[in-house]
Amino acid sequence: MSEFVKIAFAPIGAPEDGALVVFVGDDLKPGPRAAKILGEAAATTESAAKTIGFKGHVLTVLDILQPAGLAAGRLLLVGYAPKKDGLPLDFATLGGFVFGKLGETKKATVIFESPGEAWDSAAAAQFALGLRLRAYRFDKYKSKKKNGSEEEKAEPIAATIGVADPASARLAYGACEAVAEGVEFARTLVNEPPNVLFPAEFASRAATLAKLGVEVEILDEKAMAKLGMGALLGVGQGSKRESRLVVMRWRGAKSKKAKPVAFVGKGVCFDTGGISIKPAQGMEDMKGDMAGAACVVGLIHALAKRKAKVNAVGVIGLVENMPSGEAIRPGDILKAMSGQTIEIINTDAEGRLVLADALYYTREKLKPIFMIDLATLTGAILVALGQEHAGLFSNDDELATRLTNSGLATGETVWRMPMGPAYDRQIDSRFADVKNAAGRNGGSITAAQFLKRFVAETPWAHLDIAGTAMSSPSNEINTSWGSGWGVRLLDRLVADFYEDRAAP
């Protein structure tokens, strides 16, 4: 249960107090049951709407305080009339919008109906998902309120969603609630300060998935050295904090021996850039350089919580990239688990080194159907795509298409970027098999080409989430610095294309 909002589904009825939320179209008419509840207050709302020019467009609201004839202290008329672009109504976005308008209200009743179309239980569940995602906040380290008084734990907002079939809506919300928990888990990991969330602590938090039936294995530096993970260990050798590799297995398919789908996350818990140190301005944001790993943990949580009928594995490489007398240097040559040698050109191109060993381990030890890695890998992807899309690179057209479609369905959109031999030649090294950086031009592409050298023929996709996972623009379902981006996208991918339909 969320600590910020308490969601319930109930038959449609009038609230005794708090806020009442009613949806209207461009004719400003509510649904039949809402109209009955409004009664004589409907005439007042129409007059108020005309006075301020409220047209009922989607994601607009008319907020009326102490409406005559209603017990509720506030009446929110929320528009749902489509915009000129004609795009279908996204109920999660609508839910987030409504929560954002509740303000300090502690209790709200939502009449979830429209006069123009039936809003089913699936729509109600998505609406509730949006409410919950927008409600999330990260304030655990704030000891005082703005007025200087001691912080008191705020009670969650109680939101009752009035629907025609509460039992069906509660059932549909079960899977959405699992996804919401996964997103919240990922957001909190990204938001945590780096002195709290270092590799061993991150691994311990991932291990809590065991309570959901996930098998969790944690490899320490000795175990990774035995496997030959010289690339991953090389990144972490400059820090006093030891590195970790975490393997999370969810066995939900009918056949426990069926090949898994695999998700691999970059988990650089703090990235100074190493010897190739970053500028001081904005370096505090590098606590979020583990957002790919956070997404993988959140995703496995969601799959296990909703008992997804699939075998799935999550692999995360956890390191700190720090400058010290022990740190790797430009010019050093590392040997990866695959046996390939890597010339270090820039120690700030460290995430791909972590992923090189994590991807190879996943490919060789776990034999997956596919591998998808997520990483805040390059600033170049922000130059190319801004913060509206994650960069998608893949060696498999079917997997890339499915990811694109899942992105469109969830709003966590991806844009496929080119790859090819001309880019690959840019990372050939004079002294080793490959170099870890190729210069400024096409930086996100050459980074993806580097990763491709460690996946062989396994279907693979790389998501560069540097623009979407942290410090991304606020939207109707997220006002958090860490967005939890990718959990909804990948859960939808699994649900639509890879779950065992024959399983009970």
Q: Which of 377, 375, 273 is nearest to 330 (CA)?
A: 273
Q: Quick check: is 440 catalytic?
A: no
Q: Which residues contact 498 (CB under 8 A, 6 or more apart)?
A: 261, 310, 369
Helix axes 166-191, 121-135, angle to 10 degrees: 30
DSSP secondary structure of 369-422: S-EEEEE---THHHHHHTTTSEEEEES-HHHHHHHHHHHHHHS--EEE----HH
Q: How far is CA 449 from CA 149, 380, 381, in A?
A: 53, 14, 14
In the sheet that holds 414-416, the strands lie side by side as: 215-219, 244-251, 311-321, 261-271, 371-375, 460-464, 390-394, 414-416
Q: Which of 352, 363, 453, 488 is catalytic?
A: 352
The Cα 427–Cα 422 span in angstroms is: 10
Q: Which of 277, 219, 216, 271 is nearest to 243 (CA)?
A: 219
CB 103 within 8 A of CB 154: no
The Cα 60–Cα 379 span in angstroms is: 35
The neighbouring-strand residues paired with 11 are 163
Question: E strand or H helix at 75, and its extent?
Answer: strand 74-79
Radius of gyration of the chain (CA): 25
In the chain, the amino acid numbered 403 is: L
Q: Quick check: is 416 catalytic?
A: no
Q: Which of 6, 251, 278, 335 is catalytic?
A: 278
The Cα 422–Cα 408 span in angstroms is: 30
Structure tokens at 86: 């004609």
Structure tokens at 161: 């969603």
Structure tokens at 366: 């776990």
Structure tokens at 205: 């938090």
By DSSP bridging, strand 261-271 and strand 311-321 are: parallel
Entry field: residues in the chain: 504
Residues marked active site are found at: 278, 352
